[in-house]
Chain A
Amino acid sequence: MAGTITTVREHEGDLVVESADIVAEDVVALTLVDPDGDALPPWTPGAHVDLILEDGLVRQYSLCSDPADSRVIRVGVLKTPDSRGGSRFVHERLTKGSTVRVRGPRNHFPLVSSPRYIFIGGGIGITPMLPMIAEAEATGADWHLYYGGRSRASMGFLDELAAYGDKVTLVPQDEAGILDLATILGDPRDDTKVYVCGPEGLLGAVEAKCGAEWPAGSLHLERFAAKEIEAPAEGERSFELELAASGITLTVPPDRSIFDVCQDNGISVMGSCHEGICGTCEQVVLEGEVDHRDSVLSDSEKAANDAMMICVSRCKSDRLVLDL
Chain B
Amino acid sequence: MQPTPVPLEKVDLADLDVFEKNEAWGMFDTLRKEAPVHWNEEHDGGSGFWSITRYEDIEAVDKDPETFTSTKFTNLEEPPEEFQELRRSILESDGPRHLALRKLLMRDFTPAQLRRYEDFLRGLAALTVETALQQEEMDFVDAIAADYPIAVLARLLDTPEEMTPQLIAWGNEIVGFSDPEYARVLVNSEESQKYRHLPFSSPVSQEIFEYGRTLAAERKGGDGEDLVSKLVNRLPEDGIPLSPEHFDNYFLLLVVAGNETTRQAISHSMKALIDNPEQMQWLLDNPDKYPQAIEELLRWASPVYHFRRTATRDVELHGKTIKGGDKVVMWFASGNRDESKFDDPYTLDLSRFPNDHMTFGKGPHTCMGSNLARFEMRIIFETLLPRVASIAQTGDIRRVRSNFVNGIKAFPVRIESKQA
Contacts and interface: CB of A to CB of B under 8 A. Distances in A.
Given A110-B67, A283-B111, A296-B106, A273 B364 contact: yes
Nearest to A278: B366
Interface in A42-97: 42
A272 B313 CA distance: 26
B360 A272 contact: yes
Contacts of A263: 353-354
A258 to B, nearest CB: 14
User: Which 7 interchain pairs have the tightest Cβ spacing?
Assistant: A278-B366, A272-B366, A282-B110, A268-B291, A284-B112, A216-B97, A8-B60
A282 B111 CA distance: 7
Given A2-B321, A113-B313, A296-B106, A280 B366 contact: yes
A278 B63 CA distance: 11
Contacts of B111: 270, 282-284
B292 interface: yes
A129 to B, nearest CB: 17
Interface string A252-280: 00000000000100101011110101111
A282 B109 CA distance: 10
B392 interface: no
A243 interface: no
Interface in B26-73: 56-57, 60-61, 63-64, 66-67, 71
B238 interface: yes
A5 interface: yes
Given A268-B295, A296-B106, A278 B364 contact: yes
A273 B363 contact: yes
Interface string B392-414: 00000000000000000000000
Contact of A5 (B64, B71, B110): B64
Given A6-B67, A280-B366, A296-B106, A217 B95 contact: yes
B20 interface: no
Interface in A207-226: 211-212, 216-217, 220
A34 to B, nearest CB: 20
Interface of B: 56-57, 60-61, 63-64, 66-67, 71, 93-97, 99, 102-103, 106-107, 109-112, 237-240, 291-292, 295, 312-317, 321, 324, 353-354, 356, 360-364, 366, 368, 370-371, 374
Contact of B99 (A270, A272, A277, A307): A277
6 contacts: A1-B314, A212-B239, A270-B374, A273-B362, A278-B363, A280-B360
B6 to A, nearest CB: 25
A3, A112, A272 — which one has the most chain B CB atoms within 10 A of its CB? A272
A269 to B, nearest CB: 9
A4 B317 contact: yes
Given A3-B313, A277-B364, A298-B237, A270 B371 contact: yes
Contact of A279 (B66, B106, B238): B106
A7 interface: yes
A217 B93 CA distance: 10
A157 B361 CA distance: 42
A228 interface: no
B191 to A, nearest CB: 34
Nearest to B324: A113
Nearest to B374: A270
A307 B110 contact: yes
A298 B370 contact: no
Nearest to A298: B237
Nearest to B110: A282
A3 B68 CA distance: 13
A218 to B, nearest CB: 9
Contacts of A220: 66
A190 interface: no
B94 A217 contact: yes
A268 B375 CA distance: 13
B165 to A, nearest CB: 32
A213 to B, nearest CB: 11
A39 B117 CA distance: 56
A154 to B, nearest CB: 30
Nearest to A271: B356
A169 interface: no
A9 B36 CA distance: 14
A111 B315 CA distance: 12
